[in-house]
Structure 1
Amino acid sequence: MLDMLVVGGGYVGLAAAVAVKQAAPHLEVQVVEAAPAGVWEKDERASAIIAAASQMLDILGTWDEILPHAQPINRMIVTDSRTSDPVRPVFLTFDGTIQAGKPFAHMVPNVAMVRALRGAADRLGVSIRHGLSATGFETTATHTTVKFSDGSTEETRLLVACDGVRSKLRDMAGIRTVNWTYDQSGIVATVAHERDHEGVAEEHFLPSGPFAILPLTNNRSSLVWTERTDAAERLMASDDLIFEEELQRRFGHKLGEIRLVGGRKAYPLSLTLSRAFIAPRFALAGDAAHGIHPISGQGLNLGFKDVAALAETVVEADRLGLEIGSLNVLERYQSWRRFDTFRMGVTTDVLNRLFSNDVTPIRIARDFGLGVVERLPKIKDFFIGQAAGTTVKDNPKLLRGRSI
């Protein structure tokens, strides 16, 4: 019988398996992934990894492998304008360093991250099975039996669902969600440009939604472009020339000519928050527990926070001889993560509603607020510390750069 079975072989699922297995090598940990082997290694996207999460990845023995591919964010610029405005005034700037030589975040290609986590899982002896989806599970007082699409079953003391925002396991567990859509889509693409971005990230608040330019290595940038769903559908249906022209209008010309590198993808934006993170011998983590608007760039980092809290909960319970799948044990994980997740979900929802419009009184008020923050260095330092995850008092050990 397994000690922990993780369903979902993405970044959060792999990190959860690695974190538990590294701290408690005697536990039997397995990851089951519905996609065929190699699919995650073809992911063209990149993610913002905050300082606290990079500290965790360092403890897990993966950051040294990731770092050569990572681009530090040295500075952040926030503007608020219309697409047609000839000038985009900068209302807010953030120094990207939280201490000498330590940026608050890095942009990391997803393929580099999953490769490093897969390598760590292999070294630790975590079993990974591909091409299987969970079709159901039954829980008893001593274990959970999970049924898979090939007819096989696995018994485990703890089942961890990391199977995405439309989690089937969450539904099977009877866990309800708070959910609503934004009538917006997020377009993700990578561009190459003539001039060096110097590690500067930009967030342009446009009437249709935020347009984020996030620096990558080798004179490239990752774009997270929020548009109304109907406009996004038209853009995705257009050819590369029209798409690049629309990109250039929003991107600007300060980095010279731009061109698409790789493909472009769009996905509907919504808010999904699980009402509970646990059930008997069952825990949610990552997007299965929460899906938030990308306006803050915190989606994956919330998942890594789940990993750190869950791993510490499980490992310390095991050391005390407690049953790792019991509700009494898992309640610590839920109380650790649920409030923070709801707070971030509400924050991103409010920010998106505040900035994704062109109502003049609201525009004046929000720009005044940005200007006030720009003139208060201590407030800016507080915000950047919170964004980096390094000033949170109740952080799990891994997020503080400490082993469990």
Structure 2
Amino acid sequence: MQNPRLNDVPASGESHDVLVAGGGYVGLSLALALKRGAPQLSVAVADPAPAGAASRDGRASAVAAAAREMLAALGVWDEIAPSAEPISEMIVTDSRTRDPVRPVFLTFSREGDGPFAHMVPNGALVGALSRAADAAGVERIQGVGVSDFSADAAGVDITLGNGSRRTARLLVAADGAKSRLRALAGIPTVGWTYGQSGIVVTVAHERPHHGRAEEHFLPAGPFAILPLPGNRSSLVWTERTEAADRLVAADAFTFAIELERRFGHHLGKIEAVDRPRAFPLGLMIARRFVGPRFALCGDAAHAIHPIAGQGLNLGFKDAAALAESVVEAARLGLDPGDGDALDRYERWRRFDTVQMGMVTDVLNRLFSNDNPGLRILRDVGLGIVDRLPPLKRHFIGAASDAGRTAPRLLRGEAI
């Protein structure tokens, strides 16, 4: 491996065993897991977002059963649970926008095994992780991100956005899909855009959803209705980018008409309760997840289509795997930035990430069109899955459970 960026400026400022760049759910869960597993480690999180920004995030995310087990093992799920809405059932339809009836081709449920996912407000998730990280002794550098770094055999020299300096034995980039640190490390990516954008908005409706999620496959892309507490739902609405830009810029009346065409009337009168926002969609996977004393985590390592709702859960898998690799190295008296520990993390996560990226890519290409031949093929396929309980259980397990080779945190076990 080549070193990231090297310079001759001497290190100065405070020193840490691990510094995490990015204070979202991935960065915070990683930092918390490291401190819980190896309290002797000095761990810091540099978050460019201002204090309290997370609590103003009105979006919500689907937390799968395995990720819920991880949050419980980290001691934060009890705080999050009151604001979470369990998803006990999911239906899948395939139709055109103008169709008056949307036949259900596939139904998922986990009766007796508990919900296969929960919808969790992002503010509640990040807030609980922040408080737990503070209590565990994680140093949080709020309002300042990492602007530059250089690495060598001895450690990482880090420059923060305010010009101050830190050193660390391991730097973790959890700074999002447009990761500045990934670029500084010279790690290339592979991927493509879909010409689609995901519109995210919260709606209120007259009738209760009873914990049911809905995935409507429409020609422009999936239209997902995800239950929130009360008579509210979170929408992830995929449209061609040009159409999405027009919709979020439209007046409230026009947006409401287009929303109703896709949402339907089964939950009564609906109303958008926040401002819709559109996010371009694509596939991006880093060609490497690690470098000398450097690791990518979460969206900095990968960004996938939301069609399977697995983006957040992939990030938690990264955090669990990296924490376990580093903690086990530390218990053996090894350097937290040890190359063997980082190589183990990369091997653990690369295949699963590429596999999930390809699955979401194929699903999006298969369902985001109005080709009559493909429509027949996919509807027959959905019907077969619905009529074969063992196959259906396999899909539910793949989406929600950890599996035997998963990191311990995702199985609800302490590191």
Give the match for residue 292 of structure 1.
Answer: 304
Tell me if 1:396 matches 2:410.
Answer: no
1:1-400 to 2 correspondence within 5 Å? 1-97=15-111, 99-100=112-113, 102-390=114-402, 392-400=403-411
The alpha-carbon deviation at position 133 of structure 1 amounts to 2.5
Partner amino acid, structure 2, of 1:67: A
Q: Tell me if the contact between 1:2 and 1:156 (Cα under 8 Å) persists in the aligned partners.
A: yes
2:4 counterpart residue number:
none
The 1-side partners of 2:121 and 2:221 are apart by 24
Counterpart-to-counterpart distance in 1, 2:414 and 2:257: 49
RMSD over aligned Cα atoms: 0.8
Q: What CA deviation, in whole Å up to 9, does each residue of 1:196-220 have, x standing for no partner?
A: 1000000000000000000000110
TM-score in terms of structure 2 length: 0.95
Cα displacement string for residues 225-262 of structure 1 (whole angstroms, at most 9, x for unaligned residues):
00001100110111112111111111110100001112
Deviation at 1:125, TM superposition (A): 1.2
SS of the equivalent of 1:272 reads: strand
Equivalents in 2 of 1:67, 1:233: separation in Å? 35
Query: For 1:175 and 1:206, how far apart are their aligned partners in 2?
Result: 36
Segments of structure 1 that go 5 or more residues without pairing to the other structure are none
Q: Indicate conservation of the 8 Å contact 2:329/2:338, yes or no.
A: no
What does residue 10 of structure 2 align with? none
User: For 1:327-385, what per-residue CA distance to the aligned partner results, in whole angstroms no more than 9, with x for missing partners?
Assistant: 22210000000000000001000000000000000111110111111110000011101
Using the alignment, how far apart are the partners of 1:96 and 1:189 within structure 2?
A: 27
Shift of 1:29: 0.4
Separation in 1, partners of 2:125, 2:92 = 28
Q: Is the 8 A contact 2:144 2:160 kept in 1?
A: yes
Aligned partner letter, 1:20: L
1:33 aligned partner, one-letter code: D
Give 2:408's aligned amino acid. Answer: K
Secondary structure of 2:247's aligned partner:
helix
Letter in 2 for 1:215: P
User: Percent identity of the aligned residues?
Assistant: 61
Residues 96, 105 of structure 1: 8 Å contact kept: no
What is the total number of aligned residue pairs between the two structures? 401
The DSSP-based 3-state class of the residue aligned with 2:318 is helix
Structure 1 distance, partners of 2:280, 2:352, is 24
Amino acid at match of 1:194: E
TM-score for the superposition, normalised by structure 1: 0.98
Q: Would the aligned equivalents of 1:37 and 1:131 in 2 still touch at CA under 8 Å?
A: yes
| Contact persistence 1:76–1:96 (CA under 8 A) | no
Query: Residue 97 of structure 2 aligns to which amino acid in structure 1?
Result: T
Q: Confirm or deny: 8 A CA contact 1:11 1:114 kept in the other structure.
A: yes
Contact kept? 2:43, 2:138, Cα under 8 Å: yes
Q: Which amino acid aligns with 2:410?
A: L
Aligned-partner residue type, residue 239 of structure 2: E
The amino acid across from 1:72 in the alignment is P
In structure 2, distance between residues paired with 1:178 and 1:29: 31
SS in 1 for 2:147: strand
CA–CA distance in structure 2, aligned partners of residues 232 and 263 of structure 1? 13
CA drift of 1:389 comes to 2.2
Q: Secondary structure at the match of 1:263?
A: coil
Secondary structure, aligned partner of 1:361 = helix
Inter-partner Cα distance in structure 2 for 1:18 and 1:111: 17
SS in 2 for 1:16: helix
Query: 2:243, 2:41 → 1: CA distance?
Result: 50
